[in-house]
Structure 1
Amino acid sequence: MKKILQITFILASIICFSQNQEIIKERGNLSNSKGNIYKSLEVIDQREDKKIGEVPFGDNKEMREIVFPTTVNNFLSQWYTDSNHKGGKYELVLVLKHLKTYLGETVGKQTEGEIEFSAQTFLKEGDQYKFLYKKDTIYSFGSKNISDVMVKNIPVVFAMFLKKTYTLKPKENPVSIDALADYESYVRTNSEAYKNTQLKDGIYLNHTAFMNQTPEPGNYVFEKNDKGNVLRAVKEENGKKDKISANEMFAYVENGKAYRKTYSGFLELNKNDKGFYLISNRGYLLPAQNSAVFLSVGGGTNAGMYGGVAVGLVGILERGLRQNKARKEEKFPIYIDPLTGEYDFSEE
């Protein structure tokens, strides 16, 4: 009788515990439509706080903790394997830095919510890792069923992140697993652009070339307009001219000064102990429609854009890219992400 009571108590505890949890489930698939080169997915969970968040459910607003059905590594690796039946040559490694949910204000029947997400991906070959992609993002939502929407969209966040990863080529410089503990610091310490006090003059077609300080070879001459703005660079060798338009450049360095290509033209790229930065604002750097990206989620062409998983996703904003009413003339330091070359608006 005592043993029966113990079993009953254990089962009741499990049921009670599970009722206070909301389990994250797979939504859609993680298939690589570009041709799978990754035989497996491994997740390195570097989150300091593993708790995702607690949100209210149902008419009674019962608080439930959002959890994975197992470890995040087991969940995502199995989902990846189920979605990609033909194995590739390499291993894909996802380093999870941050995953949190937050509830905001309720206006009428609509409640705001956010998912904060930060992760990096690497191609693994043997014991070497090559950087692929990084995202440090806030996903914003609004719904009368906000808790349900956020839980359903956590796997959407991972799906979008991985499907973007599939499209990218790895960086050329491999690192050991020790560098993954703080890859950003590793890049700052080891990149030529950070180590050198003097930048090399020349044209840089992408962020990687700038970080490695490998400008386009040859003696290019800048052609500028009456205002001194660079229009193109021209190199003449063996009777042939090679032209690089301003739109093709990531940056150029002239007389030791760097200039970064932006939506509105070139701006001087400064450097301090925190990294490279521009003195500008969002309105000058980005087209207005790119400040926030909104997806159609109720149907139409975007409804199935991620294998049917983009249900309920309202908006995507980079970390710190919350809409504001700052006047266009207000300017401040905007740093360049050392891993991706993208703008970091976190200090806005």
Structure 2
Amino acid sequence: MKKIFLIVLSCMAILSFSQATEAIKFKGNISRFSDITYKGFKVLDQRQDKSIGMIPFGENKEMKEVVFPTTPQNDFKAWYDRGNTLGGNNELVLILKRLKLSTGESDGKKTLGKMDFSAQIFQKEGDKYKFLYKKDTVFTFQDKEVSELMVKNIPTIFSIFIKKAYTLEPIQNAVTLNDLSDYELFRKSNYEAFKNEQLKDGVYLDFTSFFNQSPVQGNYVLEKNDKGEVVKAIKVENGKKEKISTYKMFSYVENGKAYKKTMSGFIEINKNENGFYIIANRGDIFQAQYSNTYGMFGLIGVVAGSIDQAVKQKKMKNNDKKEIYIDPLTGEYDFS
């Protein structure tokens, strides 16, 4: 009798444990509508913490562990294969760095939730890898059922991430598998902006020219308004005047000091052991009518309206500023 009782308890414990998980459902598509095809999709799971998060679900706030249905490799491959024609000589390789969910404060109606997201994607040619795209950020949600909302949007965010990579040309400097363990550090060690103490004066049209320290050629002079704000750069050569409008600039360097173009004008770029950054808030760098989710990915897309809406307006009006780093691999803002 005692043995039967123990067996029943064990079965109940196993059943209870199996019910305490919430699997990610990979719905939607990540189809590539172009002539370029890939022969496969691989995932390298480099997460130090493989747990996605134990968060509350339903009216009873039952704590469940969010999990992949099987493994990241199997699930992403099946999702990719379902919507894409396979072919060609190259593969797409997704490196998963972080995926963590957590919940926070509640006002009695809605609860805050956060998704800590970090991933990179490469094009694999033979045994070499070429960088396409990366994103390190924290997405903020607010909803009555915030846990359900976050899990539902995991495939949405990965879909936007992968589709963004579709639009980009790979960096031609191919690396080996060993370099992928810390690709960002590898790239930094090869950028002139990190190697040199002094930045070159001049106008930079994109992030790669800034980090490679290759300003626009020619003797451009910065023209400023009565407030001392740069409005354009002008070059006069052989009687011909050429100008660069500020909206075309990524940044400029004057007397060794760098300034980044933002929605609020140019903000000084600082540097420390972690990289290059500006002192700002999200309201300084994003248009108010756009969700920060879109800005973080550098595109406008369809993502659940609750993402970032919880804190967007507060951030836009908040005078508190902090260090916001410029990602040396993408030129985007790093909110990780």
- TM-score with structure 2 length normalisation? 0.82
**Residue number among 324, 330, 335 corresponding to 1:340 in the alignment:** 330
- Does 234-243 or 74-83 show the bigger shift? 234-243
Distance of 1:222 and 1:139 partners within structure 2? 37
Where in structure 2 are the equivalents of 1:142-291 lying within 5 Å? 142-237=142-237, 240-290=240-290
Q: Give unpaired runs (5+ residues) of structure 2.
A: 1-7, 295-299
Tell me what 2:3 maps to: none
Deviation at 1:222, TM superposition (A): 2.9
Q: Contact between 1:34 and 1:166, CA under 8 Å: does it hold in 2? A: no
Structure 1, 57-66 or 248-257: larger mean CA deviation:
57-66
| Identity %, equivalent residues | 54
Q: For 2:247 and 2:205, locate their aligned partners in 1 and report how far apart those are by CA, in whole Å.
A: 10
Equivalent residue runs for 1:4-19 within 5 Å: 17-19=17-19
Contact 1:122 1:133 in 2 (8 A): yes
Indicate whether 1:39 and 2:36 are aligned: no
Change (3 A) 1:261 1:56: closer
Larger deviation: 165-174 or 209-218?
Answer: 165-174
Shift of 1:113: 2.5
Amino acid at match of 1:339: L
Give the distance between the partners of 1:227 and 1:112, measured in 2 at CA.
Answer: 41
> 1:78 aligns to what?
78
Classify 1:324/1:248 alpha carbon distance in 2 versus 1 (closer, same or farther; 3 Å). Answer: closer
Closer/same/farther in 2, CA of residues 287 and 148 from structure 1, 3 Å limit: closer
CA contact (8 A) 2:199 2:257 kept: yes
Q: Which residue of 2 aligns with 1:314?
A: 306
Q: Cα offset for 1:231?
A: 2.3
In 2: Cα distance, 1:287 partner to 1:59 partner: 36
SS at match of 1:70: coil
Change in 2 beyond 3 A, CA 1:313/1:94: farther
Where in structure 1 are there 5+ consecutive unaligned residues?
1-7, 295-301
TM-aligned CA distance change 1:324 to 1:313, over 3 Å: closer
Superposition map of 1:5-154 within 5 A:
17-58=17-58, 60-154=60-154
| Alignment check: 8 A CA contact 1:153 1:313 kept | no
Deviation at 1:15, TM superposition (A): 5.7
Q: Deviations over 1:183-225 (max 9, x none)?
A: 2222222211100122222221100111111222233233333
| Aligned equivalents of 1:136, 1:321: Cα separation in 2 | 18
Aligned residue identity for 1:334: I
| Closer/same/farther in 2, CA of residues 322 and 230 from structure 1, 3 Å limit | closer
